[in-house]
A and B are shown apart, each in its own frame.
Chain A
Amino acid sequence: MGTVQVENVTKKFGDRVAVDNVSFEVRDGELMCLLGPSGAGKSTILRIIAGLEPPDAGNIRIDGKAVNDLPPKDRDLAMMFQSYALYPNKTVYGNLAFPLKSYKVPEAEIKKRVSDVAETLGITPLLRRLPGQLSGGERQRVAMGRAIIRNPKAFLLDEPLTNLDAKLRVNMRAELKRLQRELGATTIFATPDQLEALTMSDRIAIMNQGRIFQDSSPETIYDRPKDIFTATFVGSPAMNILDCTIEEKKGRVVLSTGEFSLDVAGLAELIRKGTSGPEALLGVRPEHIMLTRDKAGTHSIGAEVYVTERTRPEQIVHLKVGKAMMQAIAPLAFQCEPGQRVWMTIDLGKIHVFDKLTQNAIV
C-alpha cells in the first residue's frame, strides 16, 4: 500500500472550475473521505488521481513519485465506480481475473487469487454467473473484488454505496470498513452522504464548488467545523443557524438573536478577537438543546412545538422560537404536542459562532 498526495490540483471544464486548487495527502492505510454535495468535484478529483482526466495544474504523487505523465494502468491504483462498471459479458470469475490477465499474471496464480478474493468477499458461489444475474449487493462485492485483487497502492471509491438500498447500504458500510482495515488499504472515498463519511473515515475533506473547506478527523469536522458550510452539511438533523448580533453589555458579551439573548461570558475573549463586525451567525446542534416542559432556569428560552418527528429511538422536535424555526432532539418519552409551549436550554459550552461576513467560525 502507499500514500497519495494531491498538490494544488485545478481542473476546468470550459468556464466551469470543477476542482479549484485542491491539496491533500492520504497516508498509508488511511481511509480518507471526500464529502460534499453532487457537483462538488469529488469524482473529478478521483478521476484525476486515477489518470482518467488530466489536471490543468498541479501534481499527483503516489508514494512520493509524481505520476502526472503516467497512464492509468501504470499508476497501480484501483477504482470502483458508482455504477460498478462490471464487464457485462464476462462471468464473475472473468471479471475478477481480468485485471490480472492484463498484467500477465500466470494462470495458476490467477486462479488462486480469484478464489482467495471470492472467499474473502463471500462470493464463491457466484463465480460462474454473469453480472446481469446478480443483485445490487452482489455486484457491489464483485466490483470490490475486482479492485482488491490486484493489490494496488490505493483504492479510489466513487460513491460505492449510493446504488444500494438503504438496509444493504448500512451493512456494506460496516463491511467495507472492516475490509479496508483488514487489507490496510489506502483508500479515497467520495460520497455525498455525511453519515457514511462520519462512520467510515479516518479523515474527511469537506468539498463544495471544487474547493476543500475543511480537512480533519470526523470528530473535528463534527465538533469544530471551520465554516458555516461544513457546519450545516455535516450532521443530521442539521445544525440550527440563527442570525445574531454581538452586543457588549457592561463588559459582558451577549449574542442577541432578536428572539432571545445568550450570555456567553466564557467565550467573550474569543468572540472579541475573532469577529469582523457585530453581525454573526449562531450555530446550535439539535442534540445540544435540552427541552423541558417547565422553565428550567434563567437560561431557559420559551418556544412553541411546531411538529415532532418520532424517528426512534429519539424524536426530532421542530420548534418555533418567535419567528425563527429550530430543531431539537428529545427522548421519545418527552411528550409534547404541536402548539404546546416548551422551554429549551442551550448547552453554552457547545455553541458555534460564525462571522456573518466571512462565514468562518469564530468559536
Chain B
Amino acid sequence: MAYRKRSLSRRIAVYVCVLLVLSFILSPYILGIVTSFETEVELVRRPPFPFKPITPVLDNYIYILSYKPFALAFIDSALVAITTTCFVMIAGSMGAFAIAHLRFRGRNFLFNFVVVVYMLPALAMLIPIVVLLKELTLLDTIIGMVFAHSILLLPLMTWFLVGIFEGVPPDILEAMQLDGTSRLKSLFREVIPLSRFGFFLILVFSFVTSWNDLMFANTVGIVQVKLLQPRILEFMSGARVLFTQMAAAGILSSLPVVVLAIVLQKQIIAGIMKGAIK
C-alpha cells in the first residue's frame, strides 16, 4: 500500500513538472491565441498577462481570412514549402544514399564538403544567392524561392539522412542488387521505408524550416512573391502595430505545422527516439 501511495505522489510530481515545462514552452503561443481573440481596445486597456477573463471575438480572424494578400501568401508559402521539401527529400535521399552506401572516389571529401556547407551561416549565403538568382532572373519568383530554401536545407538534410541511411544493413542492398533491382529502386523500395521514422522527422523539419523562414523570404521575394512570414510582418510598421490581427495571422500560419506535427506525431517521436539510442 505504501508503495502505491508513493508511486501516486511521484506521479503527481512528474505531472506537475511536465506541466511547468510545458506552460513555459507554450506560454508565448497561448498568449498569441488569447490575443488573437481580443479586440484591440481590450488589449490596450489591459495586457493579457497575468491572465484575465476575456470575451472572445472572431473579428481578427474574419478580417485576416478576408484579407486577400494573406490568402495569396498562404498559398505561395505552401507551394514553396511543399516544393522545397519534395526537392530536398528526393535530392537529399539520393545524395545521402550515395554517401552512405556506394563506394566511390571522393566520397569522404563529398561528405565533408556537405558538412562544411551546412556550417556556413545562412547569412553568409544570402548575398551570393540573391546575386545568383538575379543573374538567373529568378529573383522574386516561386522557383527562386524554392532554390534559395533548397540551398539552405539540402546540406543539413543530406547530412542527417546519411546518418539515418547508414542504419540500413548493406547486405540487404547487395541482395537487391543480385535480385536485379536498380539502385534507385532499392533506395525508394527499401532504404527509405526502412528508415521511415528518421525520414519523416527530416521531412517535417524541412517543411517547417521553409514555412517559417523570414530572412530569405524577405530578400528573395520582393513584390511578386510575398510569402507568409513577411506578410505577417507587414502588420507592424513604425507608426503602429496591429497586435490582435497579427496574432490571428500568426496563429493561422502555424496551423499547417501543428497539423503536420499531429498527423506525423508517431513517426516523429520514433525518429527522435531512434536518434537518441544511436
Contact = CB atoms under 8 A, between A and B. Distances in A.
Interface in A83-99: 83-89, 98-99
Contact of A72 (B169, B178, B193, B194): B178
A99 B169 contact: no
A89 B193 contact: yes
Contact of B180 (A52, A81, A102, A146): A102
A52 B177 CA distance: 8
Interface size class of B (residues with CB under 8 A): 10 to 19
A102 B177 contact: no
A208 B81 CA distance: 57
B171 interface: yes
Contact of A85 (B175, B180, B193, B194): B175
A85 B174 contact: yes
Given A83-B169, A85-B169, A88-B194, A102 B174 contact: no
Contacts of B7: none
Interface in B170-186: 171-172, 174-181
Contact of B172 (A50, A51, A87): A87
**Among B169, B178, B179, residue most surrounded by chain A Cβ atoms (within 10 Å):** B178
B40 interface: no
Contacts of A86: 172
A280 interface: no
Contacts of A72: 174, 177-178
Nearest to A71: B177
Contacts of A146: 175, 179
Interface in A130-172: 146, 150
Contact of A83 (B171, B180, B194): B171
Nearest to A75: B178
Given A81-B171, A83-B169, A85-B172, A73 B194 contact: no
Contacts of B181: 73, 102
A99 B174 contact: no
B174 A89 contact: no
Given A87-B190, A88-B194, A89-B193, A77 B178 contact: yes
A211 to B, nearest CB: 25
Interface string A94-137: 00001100110000000000000000000000000000000000
Q: Would you call the interface of chain B mostly helix, strand, loop, or mixed?
A: helix
A104 B105 CA distance: 34
Contact of A73 (B171, B172, B179, B193): B179
Interface string B182-224: 0000000010011000000000000000000000000000000
A86 B171 CA distance: 9
Interface size class of A (residues with CB under 8 A): 20 to 34
A87 B179 CA distance: 12
Nearest to B170: A85
B174 A52 contact: yes
A73 B177 contact: yes
B180 A99 contact: yes
A79 B177 CA distance: 10
Contacts of B176: 87, 98
A78 interface: yes
Interface string A307-329: 00000000000000000000000
B69 to A, nearest CB: 46
A47 to B, nearest CB: 8
Given A81-B171, A83-B171, A87-B172, A50 B178 contact: yes
A239 to B, nearest CB: 36
Nearest to B196: A89
Nearest to A84: B171
A79 B175 contact: yes
B197 to A, nearest CB: 12
Contacts of B193: 89
A122 to B, nearest CB: 22
Interface string A183-221: 000000000000000000000000000000000000000
Contacts of A87: 172, 175-176, 190
Contacts of A83: 169, 171
Contacts of B180: 73, 99, 102-103
A108 to B, nearest CB: 20
Contacts of A73: 177-181
Given A85-B169, A85-B174, A102 B194 contact: no
B273 to A, nearest CB: 18
A79 B169 contact: no
Nearest to A79: B178
A130 to B, nearest CB: 12
Interface in B134-185: 169, 171-172, 174-181
A83 B177 CA distance: 16
Contact of A81 (B174, B190, B194): B174
B72 to A, nearest CB: 42
A78 B171 contact: no
Nearest to B177: A72
A318 B186 CA distance: 55
Contacts of B190: 87, 89
Q: Which 6 A-B pairs have the closest CB atoms?
A: A85-B171, A102-B180, A73-B180, A85-B175, A99-B179, A81-B171
18 contacts: A52-B174, A71-B177, A72-B177, A73-B177, A73-B179, A73-B181, A78-B178, A79-B175, A79-B178, A81-B175, A87-B172, A87-B190, A88-B172, A88-B194, A89-B190, A89-B194, A146-B175, A146-B179
Interface of B: 169, 171-172, 174-181, 190, 193-194
Given A81-B174, A86-B172, 15 more contacts: A47-B174, A50-B178, A71-B177, A72-B174, A73-B178, A73-B180, A83-B169, A85-B169, A85-B174, A85-B175, A87-B172, A87-B190, A88-B172, A99-B179, A102-B180
Interface of A: 47, 50-52, 71-73, 77-79, 81-89, 98-99, 102-103, 146, 150
